[in-house]
C-alpha cells in the first residue's frame, strides 16, 4: 500500500508535562520504541529530556528546531524539540514551583501554534494541578485551559480505547449536583458537539450515539426518578428531529455490553463515574482523554504525573502512544473532512 508523502504527515505538538513527573519519561520511551506517521514536536527544555534520557539509560537523538515547519517525519529514536527553557533544573520526583510558569508556557505555545495552524493537534502528558495553583494561577485542568484559550463556549470530555468511546454530559461535579446540571441545554450542547466531532475528527459519516439514563433502570417509568421523563427523553426527541441518531435513554448497567456497544460509535454518560469506570476497567493504561468542542484537536493520557515513578524506568507509556495515534488519526480525518 502506498504511503502518503512526508509533507502530508500531520504536525503534532507534544507538551512535556510536569518536569518532575513521568511526562519526560514516557515521551522518551514511546518515541524511542516506535515510529509514528507524523511530524512530532516536543515543546520542552532540551536539557530536561537529555538529563532524563541519561537517567533512564536511553540513547536518543534529540534535535532542536527553530520553528515547527522544520520538523521531519518521526523515526524511532529521534526526538525533535521546540525549545522552551525551564527556570530551574528539574529533579525527577521533586516538585518545584519555580517551573510552574514553564509548564503553563508549553501549553500556551502549543495552543497558539494550533490556532495559527502551525500544529495539527496537541498531545498532553500529565501536569500537577496543585503545584500550578500554588503560583496563584487557578488551573483546573488542560480542558479548561484550552477552552479559555480558544474561547470555546462549550467543550466535551471523551475517553476512548480501541473498544469503546465514552463522552460525558457533566464532568467533575459532586454527585448531589448532577441532577440539576442535566438540562435540555446541557444535553443538547454536548450531543451536538459530540456528533459534529465524530463526523469531522473521527470520520464517522452518520454517528450512532448510545445515551445513558441518569437513574437506575433509566428511571423505571418514573418510579426511580423523573429526570428521564421530564428532561432527557424530550431533549433526545428534539435532537432526533434534527437528524441525530440517538439510542436511549438506556439503563447504564446494560448499555455497556457488547449487544449495544458493538453497534454504536460512542456512549454518552450523564456523569463522570457512570461511564468512566467501565472504560478504565477495560482499557486503563491504554486509554486516551480527548477534548471535543474545540476548534483544535487535543488528546491526553488517562493518568497522572506519578511523581514517585519519575526517572525509575517503570512508567507505562501505553496511554501516550494511544494518545499520539489518536491525534494523528483525528488530524488526518479533519483534513479529509475540510476538503
Burial class (CB in 10 A: 0-12, 13-18, 19+), 241: exposed
Measured between alpha carbons, how far is residue 34 from residues 55, 77, 209, 312 in Å?
20, 8, 33, 20
Measured between alpha carbons, how far is residue 149 from residues 79, 111, 126 in Å?
27, 7, 18
- Please name every residue paired with 247 in a beta bridge, in sequence order, or none if there are none: 210
In the chain, residues under CATH classification 3.40.718.10 are 1-152+294-339, 156-284
- Residue 172 DSSP code: S
At 104, give phi and psi (nearest 5°). -65, -35
pLDDT in tens, the chain (339 residues): 444 466 789 999 999 999 999 999 999 999 999 999 999 999 999 999 999 999 999 998 999 999 998 999 999 999 999 999 999 999 999 999 999 999 999 999 999 999 999 999 999 999 998 999 888 888 888 888 999 999 998 899 999 988 899 999 998 889 999 999 999 999 999 999 999 999 999 999 999 999 999 999 999 999 999 999 999 999 999 999 999 999 999 999 999 999 999 999 999 999 999 999 999 888 877 889 999 999 999 999 988 999 999 999 999 999 999 999 999 999 999 988 877
Give the integer Cα–Cα distance in Å for 153 and 189.
10
Give the integer Cα–Cα distance in Å for 213 and 177.
16
The SS3 call for residue 40 is strand
Confidence (pLDDT) at 171: 87
Fold classification of 1-152+294-339 (topology level):
Isopropylmalate Dehydrogenase (3.40.718)
CATH architecture of 156-284: 3-Layer(aba) Sandwich (3.40)
| 8 A C-beta contact, residue 17 and residue 49 | no
Burial class (CB in 10 A: 0-12, 13-18, 19+), 152: middle
Give DSSP secondary structure letters for 53-74: HHHHT---EEEE-SSGGG----
At 291, give phi and psi (nearest 5°). -100, 115
pTM summary value:
0.91
- Residue 228 DSSP code: I
At 95, give phi and psi (nearest 5°). -70, 145
Amino acid at each position: 500500500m502506498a504511503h502518503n508523502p512526508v509533507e502530508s504527515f500531520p504536525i503534532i505538538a507534544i507538551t512535556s508535562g510536569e518536569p518532575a513527573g513521568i511526562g519526560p519519561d514516557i515521551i522518551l520511551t514511546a518515541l524511542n520504541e516506535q515510529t509514528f506517521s507524523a511530524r512530532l514536536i516536543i515543546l520542552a527544555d532540551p536539557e530536561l529530556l537529555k538529563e532524563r534520557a541519561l537517567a533512564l539509560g536511553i540513547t536518543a537523538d534529540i534535535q532542536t528546531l527553530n520553528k515547527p515547519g522544520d520538523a521531519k517525519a518521526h523515526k524511532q529514536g529521534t526526538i525533535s524539540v521546540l525549545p522552551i527553557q525551564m527556570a530551574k533544573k528539574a529533579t525527577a520526583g521533586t516538585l518545584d514551583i519555580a517551573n510552574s510558569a514553564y509548564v503553563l508556557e508549553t501549553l500556551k505555545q502549543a495552543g497558539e501554534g494550533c490556532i495559527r495552524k502551525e500544529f495539527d493537534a496537541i498531545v498532553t502528558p500529565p501536569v500537577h494541578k496543585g503545584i500550578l495553583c500554588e503560583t496563584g494561577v487557578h488551573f483546573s485542568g488542560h480542558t479548561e485551559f484550552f477552552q479559555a484559550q480558544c474561547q470555546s463556549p462549550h467543550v466535551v470530555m471523551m475517553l476512548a480505547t480501541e473498544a469503546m468511546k465514552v463522552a460525558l454530559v457533566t464532568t467533575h461535579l459532586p454527585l448531589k449536583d448532577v441532577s440539576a446540571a442535566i438540562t435540555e441545554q446541557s444535553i443538547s450542547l454536548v450531543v451536538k458537539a459530540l456528533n459534529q466531532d465524530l463526523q469531522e475528527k473521527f470520520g464517522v459519516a452518520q454517528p450512532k450515539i448510545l445515551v445513558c439514563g441518569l437513574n437506575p433502570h433509566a428511571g423505571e417509568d418514573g418510579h426511580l426518578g423523573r429526570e428521564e421523563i421530564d428532561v432527557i427523553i424530550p431533549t433526545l426527541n428534539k435532537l432526533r428531529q434534527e437528524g441525530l441518531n440517538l439510542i436511549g435513554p438506556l439503563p447504564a448497567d446494560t448499555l455497556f455490553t457488547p449487544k449495544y456497544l458493538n453497534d454504536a460509535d460512542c456512549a454518552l454518560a450523564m456523569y463522570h463515574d457512570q461511564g468512566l469506570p467501565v472504560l478504565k476497567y477495560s482499557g486503563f493504561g491504554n486509554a486516551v482523554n480527548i477534548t471535543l468542542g474545540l476548534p483544535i484537536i487535543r488528546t491526553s493520557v488517562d493518568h497522572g504525573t506519578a511523581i514517585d515513578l519519575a526517572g525509575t524506568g517503570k512508567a507505562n507509556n501505553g496511554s501516550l502512544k494511544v494518545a499520539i495515534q489518536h491525534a494523528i488519526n483525528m488530524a488526518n480525518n479533519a483534513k479529509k473532512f475540510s476538503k
